């Protein structure tokens, strides 16, 4: 929320423009991208850039000032993001640190958690990630089996998490665990804030087909957590996770007010620029290629409009929070098609790795858009049940104590 003394958007924009020109480095379009997986230097750079934004007074634009932000509006953030195009920005912090974890802590965390974790992230001192998915499955999040047992004033965590994006570079994770096995599955969960690098956690990096090692898996062996690691209520973890999933769908869909700069990923893996790819492959005069360029452009415009409409709907309360799934679904559908178009236009360049962007690598990662942030099938379920009012999917484990739910081979 802003106060009446907040700076007008246009004045903020002009000030940001001048500051960016003087302080932030320009993106080097000719730089050779680092090989996938060899990205530690990118994280050092990301922290440096965030610290620069903070020192310049342009960090955490939509976060409240008492937690280190500027307390300004999404319009201020949009203006800053537009002005920042062409400059190096700490985009890696956009998802999940700023758009998912920090807002979840703001909504559901204790005063101390907000003051410590959110402020540290805005200063560029800490990176936050998510420990949600487990080897037994991610869509049925409430069916997770990592356990936290109370031991006096502390908790003892045992189990495993997987697909934790960039956890190797992080400081804290939001980790959902089961704390009551006799309650139905949604009612026996608790969210914890876990220090990522400490005894009791073994982390391994997962190598993908593209060579990227950004995904991690973690194993918890009698990891001791203090009582103040609990986010929200004990056994009230589903309320925290639901808020987190809302922020995640909004972020993945491209509508989060907490991302700063254009994009949410690595500078070395930009979204495919179809026109640039067509030029590089010498096919701009090919009528079929021109059609594909038109399709890509139309998709981009439709997605922009959809994000705008749903974001405003969510901000003003005209749309219910499950509407975030509409953006999330549109993101996947657009991404798949644009990656397919890029591959078709690039032809042999995609295979040889020559030409602009990483068309071949992006294509290998194509399916990620339908899983990261919850699968598109789950998004369709949410849209049908909670927006269109269609009947709820049958669930054999609804209202059954989790200890009595049949799982795996049991």
Ligand X SMILES: Cc1cc2nc3c(=O)[nH]c(=O)nc-3n(C[C@H](O)[C@H](O)[C@H](O)COP(=O)(O)OP(=O)(O)OC[C@H]3O[C@@H](n4cnc5c(N)ncnc54)[C@H](O)[C@@H]3O)c2cc1C
Could you say which of 154, 165, 213, 235 contacts ligand X (CB under 6 A)? Answer: 165
**Minimum distance from residue 253 beta carbon to ligand X (Å):** 14
Contact between 325 and ligand X per CB under 6 A: no
Contact between 208 and ligand X per CB under 6 A: no
Contact between 324 and ligand X per CB under 6 A: no
Contact between 137 and ligand X per CB under 6 A: yes
Contact between 9 and ligand X per CB under 6 A: no
Could you say which of 60, 103, 109, 138 contacts ligand X (CB under 6 A)? Answer: 138
Instruction: Give the residue among 357, 206, 354, 323 at the shortest CA–CA distance from 253.
Output: 323
Q: How many of the chain's residues bind ligand X (CB under 6 A)?
A: 20
Geometric angle at alpha carbon 257, from 254 and 260, rounded to 5°: 80
Choose one: 22-30, 64-72, 129-137, 259-267; the region binding ligand X (CB under 6 A).
129-137
Could you say which of 50, 99, 104, 133 contacts ligand X (CB under 6 A)? Answer: 133
**Residue with Cβ nearer ligand X (77 or 133):** 133
Instruction: Give the residue among 89, 76, 390, 376 at the shortest CA–CA distance from 249.
Output: 376
Contact between 139 and ligand X per CB under 6 A: yes
Q: Which of residues 350-369 bind ligand X (CB under 6 A)?
A: 368
The whole-angstrom separation of Cα 126 and Cα 398 is: 38
The whole-angstrom separation of Cα 69 and Cα 119 is: 8
Contact between 172 and ligand X per CB under 6 A: no
Residues 6+ apart with CB under 8 A from 273: 356, 357
Instruction: Give the residue among 143, 114, 140, 104 at the shortest CA–CA distance from 242.
Output: 104
**Minimum distance from residue 142 beta carbon to ligand X (Å):** 11
Strand partners, 44: none
Fill in the per-residue mask, 369 to 398: x = in contact with ligand X (CB under 6 A), - = not in contact: --xx-xx-xx--x-----------x-----
Contact between 238 and ligand X per CB under 6 A: no
Fill in the per-residue mask, 77 to 116: x = in contact with ligand X (CB under 6 A), - = not in contact: ----------------------------------------
**Minimum distance from residue 343 beta carbon to ligand X (Å):** 19
- Footprint of ligand X (CB under 6 A): 129-133, 137-139, 163-165, 368, 371-372, 374-375, 377-378, 381, 393
């Amino acid at each position: 929320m802003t106060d009446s003394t907040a700076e007008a958007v246009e004045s903020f924009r002009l000030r940001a423009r001048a500051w960016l020109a003087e302080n932030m480095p320009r993106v080097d379009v000719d730089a050779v991208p680092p090989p996938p997986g060899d990205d530690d230097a990118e994280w050092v750079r990301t922290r440096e850039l965030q610290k620069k934004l903070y020192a310049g007074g342009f960090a955490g634009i939509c976060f409240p000032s008492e937690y280190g932000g500027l307390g300004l509006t999404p319009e201020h953030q949009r203006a800053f993001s537009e002005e920042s195009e062409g400059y190096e920005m700490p985009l890696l912090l956009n998802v999940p640190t700023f758009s998912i974890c920090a807002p979840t802590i703001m909504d559901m965390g204790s005063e101390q958690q907000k003051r410590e974790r959110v402020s540290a992230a805005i200063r560029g001192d800490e990176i936050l990630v998510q420990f949600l998915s487990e080897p037994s499955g991610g869509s049925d999040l409430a069916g997770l089996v990592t356990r936290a047992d109370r031991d006096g004033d502390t908790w003892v965590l045992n189990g495993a998490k997987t697909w934790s994006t960039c956890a190797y570079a992080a400081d804290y994770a939001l980790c959902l665990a089961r704390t009551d096995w006799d309650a139905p599955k949604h009612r026996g969960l608790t969210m914890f804030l876990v220090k990522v690098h400490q005894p009791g956690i073994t982390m391994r990096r997962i190598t993908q087909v593209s060579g990227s090692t950004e995904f991690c898996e973690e194993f918890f062996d009698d990891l001791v957590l203090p009582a103040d690691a609990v986010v929200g209520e004990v056994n009230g973890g589903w309320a925290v996770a639901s808020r987190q999933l809302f922020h995640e769908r909004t972020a993945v869909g491209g509508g989060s007010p907490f991302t700063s700069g254009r994009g949410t990923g690595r500078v070395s893996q930009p979204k495919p620029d179809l026109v640039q790819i067509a030029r590089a492959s010498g096919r701009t005069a090919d009528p079929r290629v021109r059609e594909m360029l038109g399709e890509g452009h139309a998709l981009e415009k439709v997605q922009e409009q959809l994000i705008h409409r749903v974001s405003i709907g969510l901000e003003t309360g005209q749309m219910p929070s499950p509407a975030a799934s509409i953006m999330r679904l549109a993101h996947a559908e657009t991404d798949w098609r644009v990656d397919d178009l890029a591959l078709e236009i690039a032809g042999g360049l995609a295979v040889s790795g020559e030409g602009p962007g990483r068309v071949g690598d992006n294509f290998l990662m194509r399916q990620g858009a339908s899983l990261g942030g919850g699968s598109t099938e789950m998004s369709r379920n949410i849209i049908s049940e909670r927006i269109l009012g269609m009947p709820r999917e049958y669930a054999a484990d609804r209202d059954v104590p989790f200890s009595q739910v049949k799982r795996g081979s049991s």
